[in-house]
Structure 1
Amino acid sequence: MLRTVIIDDDQLSRTILKKTFEKCFENVVLEGEADSVASGLALINRVHPNLVFLDIKLPDGTGFDLIEKLEDTDFKLIFTTAYSEYAIKAFKYSAFDYIVKPIVPDDIKASLNRINRVSTASTLPRVRAMRDNLFGSSEDANATIALPELNGFSIVRIDDIERCEGERNYSRIFFKDGTETLVSRTLMEFENLLAHHGFSRIHRSHLVNLKNVVRYLKSGGGMVEMKSGEMLKVSSKYKDELLNRLLHNRL
């Protein structure tokens, strides 16, 4: 049984959620509704739900503010959001489910059918990772990202990533300390997410953290040397953008 609360200042969204619960999900029991950070905090502390539908933008703050104020975050979390495609990638890589507004019943059904596979562990670190991905910048050395793994996810500092290498539908992530991990996400997806954190595509198979590029070489049509000593090919398609960012310090 999923003891559920809805925290959203949009009355229509709350109504659609409730009607979908009643019609399609007998195991979802609605324990209460709230429309702000303050009322949502009081509601969660009172009923101790195991599933929360949470809007990002609330009248007195954000969903992130609410999570930070909680002592116990041992519940499954589904965000309701009107954010852009870029923001959706932040939800995805922070290992949270989400429903895009305007809310429709089919999206609610899909999200609830997925939720049983989602762990309730480490909600707060994942929320911080998502907040960093939404609002962070290449100047934020503490920004983090959640990387999906076979049995869950790991949260890493974006600044610790040296480069990403595409392997069809997977990406191999190389870290500054010499370790690496294989993630079931495409390189294009990482490019869209990490471009705002100083990463640049240099080849169809390579995405690099520009902070870790130590040299550009004209030989071989263009190469970059990483701090690790790795030499990577730069394709003509990406060369001009790469040089522009390196020469003008657009990291």
Structure 2
Amino acid sequence: MSITAYIIDDERKAISIIKSKLERTASDIDVIGEFQDPEKALKEMEKNTPDLIFLDISMPKMNGFEFLRQIKNPSFEVIFVTAYGDYAIEAIRHCAIGYILKPIMDQDLMLSIENAKKNIEHKTALAKNRQLVENLSLTQNRNKKIAIPSSKGLDFIEVQNIVRCEGTQGYTVLYLKNKQQMVSSYSIGYFGKMLENLNFFLTHKSHLINLDYIDKYDRNGTVELQDNHSVPVARNRRELFLKRIENL
């Protein structure tokens, strides 16, 4: 399957590097547009929308997020390209959107492309892109939604509705405020990284909890949550856990 692509980056050298790597490692990606000016890319997209866009986040006239906001129905797959840090990566990861860091490594590029191909096949791009734009406009992290990858695709859940997550055999069970449960094909480690800055704490290698739902902590190493469930706190996590809940 041939996939059409744009590369949008204000640096000509960066465009050349991505294009060269694609020619060497992903011959089925057909680059049909190269743009240093995102406004020109927007105009071109009115005539020809690609399947995939490699999109630099930090550009002087219009950054990658602002570019995405300009498009009414962004149904193309995105791989963000960034040399910068946690805020951008975190926002992208919450919506299960691909990204690669500069300087670009072949292995990272190939992995992102393989994931993008699966997403193109499952047609998940529009929902992910819209959710990213919505999340970026919210000032309160707890009102944001995250993408929950499952065997059927993606579900978007408000962070504040997740009480706890439990890892089991490489899968993760999410326990929600309304007593419902969801099973994701992703590991507890994946959710730990995704939610660590959204008031969640990994109490144990198999347990991730929303600190908003703590009822009480027993100093023998057990947390009781508002869903009437008890969760263990590993010995090597107790000191850090106590510091976190002191600030609640």
Q: Which amino acid aligns with 1:5?
A: Y
What residue is the counterpart of 1:233 in the other structure?
232
Q: For 1:196 and 1:107, how far apart are their aligned partners in 2?
A: 24
Q: Secondary structure at the match of 2:32?
A: strand
In 2, distance between residues paired with 1:55 and 1:95? 17
Indicate whether 1:123 and 2:122 are aligned: no
Instruction: Give distance in 2, aligned partners of 1:33 and 1:10.
Output: 11
Gaps of 5+ in 1: none
Match of 2:244?
A: 245
For the 8 Å contact 1:67–1:124, the answer to whether it is kept is no
- Provide TM-score, normalisation by structure 2: 0.84
- My pick for the range that moved more, 52-61 or 99-108, is 99-108
- State the 1:6 CA deviation: 1.0
Asked if structure 2 preserves the Cα contact closer than 8 Å seen for 1:78 and 1:99, the reply is yes
Give the alignment of 1:38-77 within 5 angstroms: 38-77=39-78
1:29 aligns with 2:30: yes
Q: Counterparts of 2:36 and 2:211 in 1: how far apart (Å)?
A: 42
Residue 238 and residue 103 in structure 1: after superposition, are their counterparts in 2 closer, same or farther (change >3 A)?
closer
**Percent of residue pairs bearing the same amino acid type:** 28
The 1:169–1:91 alpha-carbon spacing in structure 2 relative to 1, beyond 3 Å, is farther
TM-score (norm 1): 0.83
The alpha carbon displacement at 1:87 in A equals 5.6
Partner residue in 2 for 1:154: 155
Q: How does 1:1-251 map to 2 (within 5 A)?
A: 1-23=2-24, 25-84=26-85, 88=89, 91-119=92-120, 121-127=123-129, 129-130=131-132, 139-218=140-219, 221-249=220-248
For residue 134 of structure 1, report the CA deviation from its aligned partner.
Answer: 8.4
Distance of 2:200 and 2:27 partners within structure 1: 46
- Aligned residues of 2:81 and 2:101 also touching (Cα < 8 A): yes
Q: Aligned partner of 1:71: which letter? A: K
Task: Single out whichever of 142-151 and 78-87 deviates more from structure 2.
Answer: 78-87
